[in-house]
Amino acid sequence: MTWVLAGVVGLILGLVVGALIWRRRSVPQPTPEPVELPRVPPAMSEVISVLRSSAIVLDERDQVLQSTSQARAFGLVRGTRIVVPMVMDIVQEVRADGQIRTSELELRRGRVSPSLYLSARVAKVGDLILILAEDRTAARRVEETRRDFVANVSHELKTPIGAISLLAEAVQEAADDPEAVRGFANRMARDSERLSELVQQIIELSRLQSDDPLMTATEVKVDDVLAEAVDRCRLRAGARSVTLTVAGEKGMVVMGDREHLTTAVVNLVENAVIYSEAGKKVVVTARRAHEAEDHFVELTVSDNGIGISAKELPRIFERFYRVDYARSRANGGTGLGLSIVKHIVAAHGGQVSVWSQQGQGSTFTIRIPEQPTRDDSEAVELDSPQHDTHSGRSARQKTREVSA
C-alpha cells in the first residue's frame, strides 16, 4: 500500500508543476527594453578611418569602440582595452578636468627590439575619449644623428684649428730662425688644407642629405664616370706608386646625377690608394648583375692593401670613423668619404657593400639600378689576378661582407 500511495502523490505533484509551467508560458512576458550601446559618431569614424596616425576612441567605461590598425600594430590596444598604463593615466587626467593633453611616450618592445617613440594627444569629445598617437621614432633617430654629427664635427674641427693656432705661436717665437719658420709654415699649410677639405666634405654631406638626385635625374654613362674618377685619382696614386686599372663591361647607363656618382667612385678609389702599399694595384670594374627581373650595374673598387678587421667592418660607413687613424690623418683623410658614398648610393636607389680580410685587401661594391639601353655591351676580360681573387671569391666561406 505504501508504494501505491507514493505513486499517487508523485503523480499529483507532477500535474501541479506542469500546470504552473503551462500557465506561466501562456501569460505574455514583458519585452526587455533594448540597451543602447555607445557608438562612435559617423563623422568621427570616417575621419579616423583616413588618418595616417594611430587613433583610438574610448567609451565611458574605457572600452575601445574603434581603433586604427596602426594603434594595434604599435601595441596600444589589445581586444577592447588599452594595455599601456601611461596612456590610461593620461586618459584619467583628461576625464577629470576635460583639458587636452599631449605627452611623449617611449614604448619598449622586448629586450632586443628598439624602443618606439610616440607623441600622444588625448582629448574629450562629448562622453567619448579620443586618442591620437604619432610615430616619432624616425624623427627621434634623425635628431640623435644630427646631435651626434654636430658633436663629431666640433671635435674634428678643433684638431686642425688648434694645430694652426699653436703653429702660429711657434712661428712668432721662432721669428729669428728662418729654417724653423719654414718648417712650421709647411705644417700650417698641411693643416689648413686638411681643414679646408674637412669643411668642404661637411658641406657636401649636408647637401647630399637634403638633395634627391632622382628628382632631376639624367642618363649617366658608367664609362664616363669611371674614366673621370680614375683620372682625378691618378696624381695621388702616382705619388704613392699605386697602379690604377679600369676593367669590366662597357656601354652601361644608369639614371642619376653624374657628379654625385663620380664623387662616390673617387672616394672609394682614394680610400683604396691610401690603404695600399707602394707597388700595389687598385682595380675599378663595372659589370651587369641580375636579380629576378631586375637589372643592376655593379661598380667595384678592389685593392690588395692592408684590409679591414672583422670587428671594424660594421662601422666603416659611420661619419668620421677611421680604420687606421694615423694613416688616414697623415694622408689627409677626414673620415667622411665612405659616409658620403653611402648617402649617394642610397639616394640613387642602390646599396654599397664591402668585402675585406686583413692582409688580403678589400673590395667595395656599389650596386644601382641599370637604365635600359639599345647599345650592346662590350665585355672586357679582366687581367688582374688580384681582382679575380676578390670577384671570384672561391673561398667565400672565409670572407666577410658588410652591406650599408
Q: What is the pLDDT of residue 141?
A: 72
Q: Is the pLDDT of residue 365 over 90?
A: yes
| pLDDT score, position 23 | 55
Tell me how far CA of residue 178 lies from CA of 128, 153, 170, 173, 192, in angstroms. 84, 35, 12, 11, 21
Residue type, 343: H
The pLDDT value recorded for residue 389 is: 39
Using CB atoms within 10 A of its CB, is residue 242 exposed (0-12), middle (13-18) or buried (19+)? buried
Count Cα neighbours of 350 within 13 Å in the Cβ-side half-sphere: 27
Pull the grid cell for residue 251: 656601354
Q: Which helix (H) or strand (E) holds 130?
A: strand 128-135
Quote the CA–CA distance of 366 and 264 in Å, as a whole number. 9
pLDDT value, residue 367: 92
- Report the distance separating Cα 229 and Cα 193, nearest Å: 21
**Domains of the chain listed by start with CATH number:** 42-135 (3.30.450.20), 137-210 (1.10.287.130), 213-403 (3.30.565.10)
Query: pLDDT (tens digit, 9 = 90+) per residue, 195-236?
Result: 777 777 677 666 666 566 666 778 889 999 999 999 999 988
Report the pLDDT value the prediction gives residue 225, as an integer from 0 to 100. Answer: 93
Regarding pTM above 0.85, the answer is no
C-alpha span between 348 and 211 (Å, rounded): 11
- Exposure of 264 in the CB half-sphere (CA atoms within 13 A): 31
Crossing angle of helices 337-347 and 258-274, rounded to 10° = 150
Most confident of 151-160, 329-338, 379-388: 151-160
Least trusted range by pLDDT, from 103-107, 188-192, 330-334: 330-334
**What is the per-residue pLDDT across 75-127, written as a single tens digit (0 to 9) for each?**
888 888 888 888 999 999 998 888 999 988 888 765 656 778 888 999 998 88
Q: Are 320 and 335 in contact, with CB atoms under 8 Å apart?
A: yes
56 within 8 A of 82, measured Cβ to Cβ: yes
> Average of pLDDT values for 170-178?
81
Q: Decide if 296 contacts 309 (C-beta within 8 A).
A: no
C-alpha cell at 286: 663595372
Residue 133 has pLDDT above 80, yes or no: yes
> Mean per-residue pLDDT for 176-191?
82
Phi, psi at residue 133, to the nearest 5°? -130, 125
Whole-number mean pLDDT of the chain?
76
* Residue-level pLDDT at 154: 66
d(CA 172, CA 176): 9
Residue 24 has pLDDT above 70, yes or no: no
Q: What is the torsional sign of CA 216, 220, 225, 228?
A: negative
Within a 10 A sphere around the Cβ of 404, how many other Cβ atoms? Answer: 17
Q: What is the DSSP string of 213-233?
A: GGGG-EEEEHHHHHHHHHHHH
- How large is the average pLDDT for residues 325-341? 64
Nearest to 267 by CA among 191, 328, 196, 216: 328
DSSP assignment of 159-179: HHHHHHHHHHHHHHHTTT-HH
- Cβ atoms of 364 and 353 within 8 Å: the answer is yes
Taking CB atoms within 8 Å and a gap of at least 24, the contacts of 32-39 are 38/65, 38/127, 38/128, 39/65
